[in-house]
Structure 1
Amino acid sequence: MALSMGQKAGWGLADMGIVVFVVVKQLLVLTYLTAYLGVPVGIAGFVTTAVLIFDIITDPLVGYLSDKTNSRFGRRAPWMFVGVLVMAAGMVGLFSVPAGLGMGGNVGWVVAFFGLATIGFTMVAIPYGAQAGEITQDPKERSVMTGWRMAFASIGILIGGALIPGLAAGMGYAAAALLVTPLMVGAVWLSLWTIRKAPRIETPATEGIAGIIGLVLANRAFMVLVILYGVMTLAIAMITAGLPFAALYLIIDSGDTMLSGAAAALTTLSLLFAAFVVGSILSQAVWVLLSHRMGKLGALVLGLSLYVVLLYALYAVLPSVNVTAIAGMFVLAGMTNGAYQQIPWAIYPDLMDVTRRESGAAIEGAFSAVWLFGQKLANALAPAVLGLTLAAAGWQETTGGTVPQTDAAIATLQMAITLIPAGILLAAILGLMLVYRPMAVRALA
């Protein structure tokens, strides 16, 4: 049964709520620890990484349990309904550190609530990814669904990357996070209501955990794509983790360009994220169309290649005092990032179908868990890699937002958010063409 446009858009709506937390954990936690709690950048990077590695460990368990769930609401909805509440509460808590705890107490508080939030995130994200393989088996429908998903995700990026930092500048991080929680919860709950009548697999999986893992690992094309998507995500996560530092040290508004007033009102970081989101939203329909015309893999390679070119261009113009020109480049960055956002998520459910067709096993939760493994591992590693890189260059932490940095530290930051991610994306492109493509052609034939 074909999905209605309302069901396709409604399914995508949930990611608006999910992505708010994704952006917060990638963008703000490391900066919050180092720039406002005074935690040394190397320690803060490892703290963030440790929590995200814990998050990875919970993925297979939630995927397995959601495959086995038996309820009148289906296998996935109960997990998502409760999980978004846990995620939102944890996000507010991690920014609510009481005064006077000291560095150890500050770190412990953030770790506890960050861990709670990531458990909630897993409870939502794993079943949500599984739904892409359940509610339709039409590859073109999946591209359209994913286009809607990433358009709504772009709004989530705006909320997490622009609205929260802008609000936090005036009311504090905890109050800003609390203010957006109704949007997070409402997006997931409304999505569940919208697709309540969509096709779904009601019967719990019968395979044991070892059998399920074996079936997923046997899908070689899927496993290669998991790895390559993780490589792509490492590049993007390094950029994201470094952007707050770039907004403080590499993009110093001269005050006399077209968007200087907006930068002063919103903060430079919020303006750049707003520009990024505009580009991402504008590009979603384009990437759906190109996926239909060129094939999903061809469109993905094109998008990543353009991303590499843009990162080299950014390296050439930074540091900059022209916030308007940089904002324009961030619109283009959002458009190229749209391919990374959308297309892999439309490809991997097609590979789920291969295992279901060959084995008869409906284990979408397990596939979703493994799929997110590469992404989460990269997101976990990126803050530590960035923290160690900056620490090696002599980066200085502070409790006041900014502090003078050496020329070597600034140059290292510049490379860490441009040239290094560009090289990582080039490696992913080669892997897609030389390793993944032959396997996918055989698997999907």
Structure 2
Amino acid sequence: MHAPPVRSGPPAAPPGAGPLPRQVHAGYALGSLATGAFGTVPGLLLLPYLTDTLGIAAGVAALLVLGPKAWDVLLNPVVGRLSDRTRSRWGARRPYLLVGGLALALCFAAIFAGPFGTGPAAGAYVALAFLATATAFAFFQVPYVAMPAELTGDYAERTRLMTWRIAVLALAILVSGALAPMVVTAGGDGLAGYRWMGLFVAGLIAVGALGAFVGTRSAPTGAVAESEPTLRAQLAVAGQARAFRALLLCFVIQSVGVATILAGVNYFAGHILRDPDTGPTVLFACFVGPALLVMPLWSRVGARLGKLTGLVLASLIFAVGAFALVAAPVLPAVATYAVVALIGCGYAGQQVFALAMLPDCIAYDTARTGRRQAGVFTGLWTAGETLGLALGPGLYGLVLQVSGYVSSSTGPVAQSDPARLGILLGFTVLPALLVGPAVLLLRGYHLTPADVEQAAGHGKGDR
């Protein structure tokens, strides 16, 4: 995929401190339809598609899922630097929303096209198509995540902007994650069902990309300031930012935990809850539905206790809920779904606060150094997030392989007791151990609103 042409133009105005128009909130948030759908559906269905439709062994399937997204770890910082240096009549970021978003939709549909049927050739095709999709996603996601630091200079307004975004993200996860398995079933299961599902999700991605591009047309684009001359120098600057480094490490590890839950939904519903038809949809509704309701509550928690405290609290709620879910085999179904809803509440807060703290780190560094490097910071951020979302299914697939899970090209088959135990522990204990202890890394995060204001006023501060 090619970057949009770089053009010369007048410097953009710096972001203001006042509230953004509602249409900018809504327009920017629509981009989460694309990020939510791509972040959810491959993690939810790609591993089962490989093991239970294409007949790929669980260990091999785990590597096929991990490899293409691991590529983004190298690509994302490069994309960030490209978007930092782009000059166009649409600003630095918006051209990528359009081109990258539409390419992402097309490539996603290609993943599940199934031109080679089942077997090794089909697995190799999926890996190549997934690699192309991950590349397109990098060109959309990195500029998209970089935008909040340039849309507004107000510390609290960035939290409100992220609240809108996470609300749409939760809706995207609910719609794509709950409906995608239903589309597979309605399409006849097997290869035909997955083809219809690929087209459905591709449509969601296209709507999100176009919505974000059009909805932010009147938004500030940020000041075009001098950046470090080389990618290595920019990565060194980001690596020296203590608050950013602590937040990034915590978020990446927690993303692995979230992704293991996504990867295990179909297996957990089919082999633990014994409800392969409606179980995945109900699990997703219980996970994401309450998140939509508690989003305003998390916003108030952030305003009262601070973003850092809110992130720690949300992460602990997530971890406690995941540990409690170990009892699912002996719990009534309604109790199991209630625990999943608790986990979803923690997930909502975790996402809101982490994504609201990121632009604070970017704004602090920009004010301190006078250099425009949002793309580099978000390139590293999205690279880490992508790696985490790839490691989750990879780890879950390895747990299945070690526990003796049996793959099939004709749909799920009965599993042994050790395999069922692996399905359960990978869905509960593993994510809890990843999400909860990761908050200890936040001891290195000491950025406050006063720090950001001081840096903006004096151009100096302690990283």
Alignment counterpart, residue 297 of structure 1, candidates 308, 322, 338? 308
Residue identity opposite 2:169 in structure 1: A
**Alignment length (residue pairs):** 430
The aligned counterpart of 1:408 is 418
**Structure 1 Cα separation of the partners of residues 326 and 239 of structure 2:** 39
What amino acid maps onto 1:44 in structure 2? A
**Residue type of the alignment partner of 1:112:** L
Match of 1:379 among 389, 397, 407: 389
**Structure 2 CA distance for partners of 1:183 and 1:413, relative to 1, 3 Å:** closer
Cα offset, 1:229, TM superposition: 0.7
Q: Counterpart in 2 of 1:284?
A: 295
Residues 339-358 of structure 1: matches in 2 within 5 Å? 339-358=349-368
Cα distance in 2 between the residues matched to 1:28 and 1:204: 43
- Residue 139 of structure 2 corresponds to residue 128 of structure 1: no
Aligned to 1:68: 85
Aligned equivalents of 2:93 and 2:416: distance in 1?
Answer: 51
Q: Cα offset for 1:214?
A: 2.2
Q: Which amino acid aligns with 1:40?
A: A
Question: Which residue does 1:258 correspond to in 2?
Answer: none
For the residues of structure 2 that align with 1:437 and 1:201, how far apart are their CA atoms?
25
Is 1:197 the counterpart of 2:205? The answer is no
The answer as to whether partners of 2:73 and 2:383 remain within 8 angstroms in 1 is yes
In structure 2, what residue type is equivalent to 1:189?
L
Structure 2 counterpart of 1:396, one-letter code: V
Q: Post-superposition shift, 1:439?
A: 6.8
Residue identity matched to 1:387 = G
Among 434, 441, 444, the alignment partner of 1:424 is: 434
Aligned alpha-carbon RMSD (Å): 1.9
Residue 247 of structure 1 corresponds to which residue in structure 2?
269
Amino acid at match of 1:170: A
2:6 is aligned to: none
**Compared CA separation, residues 408 and 94, structure 1 to 2 (3 A):** same
Amino acid at match of 1:79: Y
CA distance change for structure 1 residues 438 and 152 in 2, over 3 Å: closer, same or farther? closer
Cα deviations across residues 338-368 of structure 1 (Å, max 9, x unaligned)?
0122110000110111211111011111111
Greater alpha carbon shift after TM alignment, 130-139 vs 213-222: 213-222
Q: How far apart are the structure 2 equivalents of 1:430 and 1:210?
A: 29
Is 1:316 the counterpart of 2:341 in the alignment? no
Task: Give a deviation string over 1:46-92, Cα, whole Å, max 9, x none.
Answer: 11111111122210111010001010000001111011111111111
Matched ranges for 1:21-420 at <5 A: 21-100=38-117, 103-171=119-187, 172-201=193-222, 203=224, 205-208=226-229, 209-253=231-275, 267-318=278-329, 322-420=332-430
User: Could you report, residue by residue, the CA deviation over 1:157-198 in whole angstroms, capped at 9, with x for unpaired residues?
Assistant: 122211111111121111122134333212221222222111
Unaligned runs of 5+ in 1: 254-262
**Counterpart residue identity of residue 207, structure 1:** E
Does the Cα contact within 8 Å between 2:72 and 2:387 map onto a contact in 1? no
Q: Percent identity among equivalent residues?
A: 29
What CA deviation, in whole Å up to 9, does each residue of 1:30-55 have, x standing for no partner? 11100110000000001111111112
TM-score, normalised with respect to structure 1: 0.92
Q: Provide the rounded CA distance (Å) in 1 between the counterparts of 2:55 and 2:225.
A: 48
Deviation at 1:443, TM superposition (A): 5.7
Normalising by structure 2, we get a TM-score of: 0.88
* Secondary structure, aligned partner of 2:88: coil
Residues 126-163 of structure 1, C-alpha deviation per residue, up to 9 Å, x if partnerless? 00011011111212111111111011011111222111
The offset of 1:442, in angstroms, is 9.7
Cα 1:349–1:439 shift into 2, 3 Å:
closer
CA distance in 2, matches of 1:371, 1:98: 34
* Helix, strand or coil at the partner of 2:147: helix
| Aligned-partner Cα distance in 2 for 1:385–1:179 | 28
Alpha-carbon distance in 2 for matches of 1:205, 1:273? 45
For 1:199, the aligned partner's letter is P
Q: State the alpha-carbon separation in 1 of the partners of residues 130 and 373 from structure 2.
A: 29
Aligned AA (1:200): T
Greater CA deviation, 239-248 or 200-209?
Answer: 200-209
Q: CA deviation at 1:115?
A: 1.1
SS in structure 1 at match of 2:221: coil
Contact 1:162/1:269, CA 8 A, preserved across alignment: yes
Secondary structure in 2 aligned to 1:28? helix
Asked if structure 2 preserves the Cα contact closer than 8 Å seen for 1:251 and 1:319, the reply is: no
Conserved? CA contact 2:146–2:374, under 8 Å: yes
Instruction: Work out the CA distance in 2 between the residues paired with 1:407 and 1:10.
Output: 48
CA offsets per residue over residues 233-270 of structure 1, 9 Å max, x none?
111111111111101101124xxxxxxxxx96xx2101
Among 414, 419, 444, the residue aligned to 1:436: 444
Match of 1:403, SS state, is coil
Q: Distance in 2 between matches of 1:201 and 1:143?
A: 18
> How far 1:311 moved relative to its partner?
1.3
Query: Is residue 70–residue 202 contact of structure 1 (8 Å, CA) maintained in 2?
Result: no
Using the TM superposition, name which of 202-211 and 187-196 deviates more.
202-211
Cα pair 1:46 1:383 within 8 Å, conserved:
no
